[in-house]
Structure 1
Amino acid sequence: MIDFAPYRRREFSLSAARSLVQDCFQVRPAIYWTDFLFSYGLGIYCYQQVRGGSMLVPHQGFTGQPWQAVCFFVSCLCFYRVALFIHELVHQRTSELRVFRFVWNLTCGIPFLMPTFVYYSHIDHHRRAHYGTQQDGEYLPMVHRRPWYVLYYLSWSFLIPIAVVFRFMVLTPLAWMSRRGRRWVHRHASSMVMDPSYIRPLPSASTLRIIRIQELGCFLWCWGIAVLPPVLLHRTALAFAVHAYLSAVVIILLNSLRTLGSHRWANAGGEMTFVEQLLDSVNYPHHGLTAELWAPIGCRYHALHHLFPSMPYHQMKRAHRILMDRLPQDSPYRATNARSLPAAIVQLLREQLRMMDPQHAQAAQAIPARPSTHRPEMAQRRRGISTNPTK
């Protein structure tokens, strides 16, 4: 285990680090398009191999063939990869990706019931005064929870697909019928977050227009799947729904495991210094092929992403190599590297057990808490539930 205490006392110059990687911020739309279209196409092909043909033919069900099982998991990995482009679209607001954003929402965001508006709140996770506090919906003080909470968190993966379908099939029309319903749905059931108590701020008029268009697409998609097959094909979509549910569970579970390894979750709720935030984030520069499967689209360089949120994912590997070559040997950035995801999760469980030690608890109580600079009224935003606790 790395001793982080010496690194917390080190200074870190963000401007100096940025000067080292200043040529790593150029967005290359061709890479986005190639990556997305190949991953999406392979995912659709494998998905059709599992069901036994296109959406127009009856689903063959599970045949027990190894090839079908392989295609199922390959399709999940491909759809997981294309789904995580939502992270790039929130950070890359450049006009160069305007058409890509539209196509992604049309082919992935709406069919997967995760249009870009559900991730707008992700920006708060990168605000220095919000990170790891009550204003951060993508942070839970995992180290300060019991080990069973990790399993509890992972179990949400089985409920989220059902909750999301309910949100767009049932809550969407209710939100259209009354302003009060709209406010509740937006604040409590419209965010891809990790903390189920997060309350989303109300949107601006321009953002609300985007939300209404995207949620209308999700509403029509859900009801189209439910109504059109019996009317046009004379069969229900039950087999499709089961297949979609199982795929969603695998994808969300994989994303939840990735999320557990993206930070060290050591903060108890107070405001953290910039260096503490950096040390609380994790990079996975090793095992490139396997890491790219469970942490695609730049997610394996999560600490680097927190340094430079606007850096495109395809530049991160090169930027990380430059920083490791040219930063001082005692730079806090060097302490962000982890060996593997299993090792990081095991370390999280060990930290949870250590925090349960009565001697450690007494020592922690003797340390004076850092004063918080948060405004009390901001805490009022966080009373309620969210239907999509993923990062």
Structure 2
Amino acid sequence: MNAHADIAGQSLARQANDIARDLTRADPKVYWTDLAVTAAVTWLSFWIAATATSAAWSWIAGAVCVLALYRGISFIHELTHLRRDDVPFFHFAWNAAIGVPWLTPSLLYEGVHILHHAKDRYGTARDPEYHPLARRPLYELAVFLGIALLAPVGTVLRFAVLAPAGFLIPAVRRFAVARASGMVINPGFAREDFDRARGAPWLAQEIGCWLWSWGLIGLAVAGVLPWRVLATAAAIFAAMTFLNQVRTAVAHRWDNDGEVMAPLDQFLDSVNVPPPALLPFLWAPVGLRYHALHHLMPRLPYHNLGRAHARLVEALPADHDYRRAEERELIPALGKLIARMRRSLP
């Protein structure tokens, strides 16, 4: 670990906290309004996509649903940092409106993502959300992106097959919790929080997803629910997951070789895509465009990240380390990743 970078990183964190400490309080009105509107748009657009007789309307509604669902699913990141008393009942409402119906309950992220923020884990083999992609062959980027398209299959297997089987067979249960219950990037990561899996919130979400998946499949087999509805849901979910995977590819530099990183290096390994870029509103919603700032101040609610960034830009010099974490847009950032991967080849 670089001692200078360690000190500089601590200094940057102190500066950021001094400038934006008053913005760490979550506003329940923002969370509830955003969730209500996002869920309504998601389900309405899905209904149109799955039932419209016009192919054009079905495709348009499907595209809207992908973006709305992406925004809705992205709230899972907020849930891991949001204390339950900050916005009471929000975790339950999100799981009921988005998480369980789309087989992506918060159990998949809670207890996992927080490890990504541990200073002694970030960028190492113990980090569930880090893979040194920039040091890997270029074909791994195609695999990294393409595997996201299999997400519908993975979620159905997890909750329609492994969940009920795990309640009967302890070995399957251990595997399901350790290796199939986390939204992770590191293929070697395994969960160890088995006590959490025995808690009421986890069990309620898991059983809810199990019964929901069986109910939908049963209705389709019985001819009550058209197979088109399930096929549309799978296509939308796959497209949404692929979009998130592309965003993830540029959320970090992915340059670390597995050693423990200094705080400043951890910050600089992360990426902000601030204004004037407009498209991050779609491809990096719910504050994900400020990923580096989030690593600097994890307790900032998503609706205050833009204000905090503006304050930091105004208060800090133009050549400050804080500005080194910025990228202009998705495609340029993806191009830089590909260039780094090419340079890493022997």
Give the TM-score normalised by the residue count of structure 2. 0.93
Q: Deviations over 1:83-138 (max 9, x none)?
A: 11110011011413231111111111101111111102000000010001111111
Q: Is the 8 A contact 1:133 1:271 kept in 2?
A: yes
- The letter of the residue matching 2:163 is T
1:174 alignment partner, one of 165, 173, 185? 165
CA shift for structure 1 position 286: 2.6
Residues 1:11 and 2:1 aligned together = no
Distance (whole Å) between structure 2 residues aligned to residue 176 and residue 311 of structure 1? 38
Q: 1:186 to 1:328 in 2, by over 3 A?
A: same
- The letter of the residue matching 2:91 is R
What is the aligned partner in structure 1 of residue 101 from structure 2?
111
Larger radius of gyration: 1
Q: Is the 8 A contact 2:133 2:255 kept in 1?
A: yes
What is the aligned partner in structure 1 of residue 28 from structure 2?
29
Residues 1:333 and 2:296 aligned together = no
Gapped regions of structure 2 (runs ≥ 5): none
CA shift for structure 1 position 237: 4.1
Counterpart secondary structure, 1:282: coil
1:151 alignment partner, one of 142, 145, 151? 142
Structure 1 residue runs of 4+, over 6 Å off? Answer: none
What is the aligned partner in structure 2 of residue 73 from structure 1?
63
What is the aligned partner in structure 2 of residue 90 from structure 1?
80
Q: 1:186 to 1:263 in 2, by over 3 A?
A: same
1:275 alignment partner, one of 239, 264, 273? 264
CA shift for structure 1 position 241: 1.7
Q: Is the 8 A contact 2:125 2:188 kept in 1?
A: no
Residues 1:211 and 2:210 aligned together = no
Q: Is the 8 A contact 1:283 1:301 kept in 2?
A: yes
Distance (whole Å) between structure 2 residues aligned to residue 306 and residue 28 of structure 1? 20
Distance (whole Å) between structure 2 residues aligned to residue 51 and residue 288 of structure 1? 33
CA shift for structure 1 position 165: 0.3
CA shift for structure 1 position 207: 5.6
Distance (whole Å) between structure 2 residues aligned to residue 228 and residue 94 of structure 1? 35
1:192 alignment partner, one of 183, 186, 191? 183
Distance (whole Å) between structure 2 residues aligned to residue 81 and residue 285 of structure 1? 18
- The letter of the residue matching 1:106 is A
Counterpart secondary structure, 1:262: coil
Percentage of pairs with the same residue: 35
Q: Deviations over 1:310-345 (max 9, x none)?
A: 110000000001111112444311101111111011
- The letter of the residue matching 1:265 is W
RMSD value over aligned CA atoms?
A: 1.9
Distance (whole Å) between structure 2 residues aligned to residue 108 and residue 163 of structure 1? 17
Q: Is the 8 A contact 1:49 1:71 kept in 2?
A: yes
CA shift for structure 1 position 26: 1.2
Give the TM-score normalised by the residue count of structure 1. 0.83
CA shift for structure 1 position 195: 2.0
CA shift for structure 1 position 10: 7.7
Distance (whole Å) between structure 1 residues aligned to residue 275 and residue 140 of structure 2? 28
1:254 alignment partner, one of 228, 237, 243? 243
Distance (whole Å) between structure 2 residues aligned to residue 68 and residue 289 of structure 1? 26
Distance (whole Å) between structure 2 residues aligned to residue 209 and residue 235 of structure 1? 32
